[in-house]
Chain A
Amino acid sequence: MSALLIETHALSMRFGGILAVSELDFAVHAGELVGLIGPNGSGKTTTINMLTGHLVPVQGEIMVRGVRAHGQAASAYATMGVGRTFQITQLFGRMTVLENMLVPGLARPGSKKAGATRAARRHLEFLGLAALENLPAKNLSGGQQKLLELGRALMLEPAILFLDEPFAGVNPFLRDEIIVLVQKLHAEGRTFVIVDHDIEALQRLVHRMVVMARGRKIADGTVEDVRHDQEVLRAYAGF
């Protein structure tokens, strides 16, 4: 088996009285393409937030490439090669598309302006945003903003990428485009964990599916396994 990128032990998060994530054990190896699904409020976003340093779990362990990462700042996770997008797109609205890309490019230790700019242009080209580089990010369409957010995460040269609902609010054409982009990036060796409610799109994309319900992991296996899992069916039907 290839290297372990991220591993959690008994990870829990609580908001006041709500146990949003409970005792989660989860591991992702290099080269995997994992789908993370579950009903609304099942704790998917909270899980991503903990695995990218945006939330500090109340309990449990997070290991990034074998190093204990618990309690580190989100920026440290980014530097360790953990990239993410947000469920609600988060861009630097009044900065240009190119500047949005340069922020992670120049935040990398030892980076140079020329190199970062070249990398940014390469990624923008790949995402079909090259012509927009001087536009303020807030002027982009919703779909373009999603692509830019993905591009910004790619600027980290991440070992693993968490995408929170990349297909939400996206037309079928762009949805297919995003699937192809992710497939290409995966073929280049990037590892993905993708949260979405679009099971059909995920089935086309991922090799492994993890299912959460009420903060717990209730299934973890191939798409086939999960599809016939009684508990999964119950969780979705009962919702």
Chain B
Amino acid sequence: MRAVQIVLCAALGVLVLAFPGLVNAYWLSVAILAIFYAIVTASWALLVGYAGQFSFGHMAFVSLGAYTSGLLVKWFDIPIPLGMLAGVVLCAIVGSGVGFVGLRMRGPYLALFTVAFSEVLRIIFVSEVEITGGSGGLEVAPLFHTRSDAPYYYVGLVLLAGSLAAMVALVSSRWGLFFRAIRENEAAAAAAGVKVVRFRVLAFAIASSFAGLAGGFYGHFLGILTPDIGSVDQMGLVVAMAVIGGAESLPAAVIGALALEALVEALRSYGEWRLVVFGALLLLTIRFARNGLLALAWEQLARVVPVVPAPRKTA
């Protein structure tokens, strides 16, 4: 049994590593974007699924991280990793600010507040044409000057693995316990001695910095940034990815993102109709599988295929 699992994992690992050699340039770029969405979705799941702070402004931090790095590299010619780091730090700071201002709000009010923040930021990026290039876009230095995108794929993979490992470690720590306690019942968490203000702000800061990291990677991969990356449409896509995969499990959110991005591309010939399919999928998931389709599928799989371990009941 155990041997079968090891073989399966090894095969999956080889497949993931060999992926760039197996597909054409188009699908490789889709995979890189999927990895980008996976980091964003996992960090949104951390904020919403674990900490219970419903934010609709997560993509604003993606764009903030992306523009910060893109502009710093353009202006000061600093190394790209340093620019990305600056984006992460700025996102942590601004994220704390948003978390702090949103402290008195919860549920739909917090969501509305974060939408407003997100739109304000997007409009600034659109309007400050002198600095950002507005809707025409900002040219961003590419991370690599290779003909193939394979290096981006591997860097993305490392970023995803690193982010996921850090987030999993976080949610398994006492901070993760406090995040969930606040999500479940803020008054009770406070009565239990949890510094609610500190941890709500921390949740925003941490999740926002991962969004900023993903944003930096995204900008330096595409080479061009437009304010659309921080739009509500994009946010809707991330929410769909998290909810369909399962917002209360980080790996499920990642798989949701990868699967949905692949689906978006695979169904491209259906035009706008594919969005209707996603909308329906989202509604069905919310109605019938609150923990996401993945948890549901996994449970069924564990029942049928004996080598699959049953899902752990936590969240």
Residues of A within 8 A of B (CB): 52-54, 73-75, 78-79, 83-84, 86, 90-95, 99, 102-104, 106-108, 113, 152-153, 155-156
Contacts and interface: CB of A to CB of B under 8 A. Distances in A.
Contacts of A155: 192
Given A94-B315, A106-B174, A78 B191 contact: yes
B50 to A, nearest CB: 11
A107 B187 contact: no
B190 A54 contact: yes
A106 B177 contact: yes
Contacts of A78: 190-193
A86 B187 contact: yes
Contacts of B129: none
Given A94-B315, A99-B177, A113-B174, A53 B184 contact: no
Contacts of B194: 75, 103-104, 107
B193 A108 contact: yes
A90 B191 CA distance: 10
B195 interface: yes
Given A78-B191, A90-B191, A94-B315, A73 B196 contact: yes
A104 B189 CA distance: 8
A84 B196 contact: no
Nearest to B195: A75
Give the interface centre of B177, B188, B194 by most chain A CB atoms within 10 Å.
B188
B193 A92 contact: no
Interface in B171-188: 174, 177-178, 180-181, 184-185, 187-188
A79 B191 contact: no
Given A95-B180, A106-B177, A113-B174, A75 B193 contact: yes
Going nearest first, the 5 A-B pairs with the smallest beta carbon separation are A78-B193, A107-B193, A74-B190, A104-B192, A92-B184
Contacts of B315: 94
A93 to B, nearest CB: 6
A103 B195 contact: no
A47 to B, nearest CB: 15
B197 interface: yes
Nearest to A53: B190
Contacts of A74: 187, 190-191, 196
B190 A103 contact: no
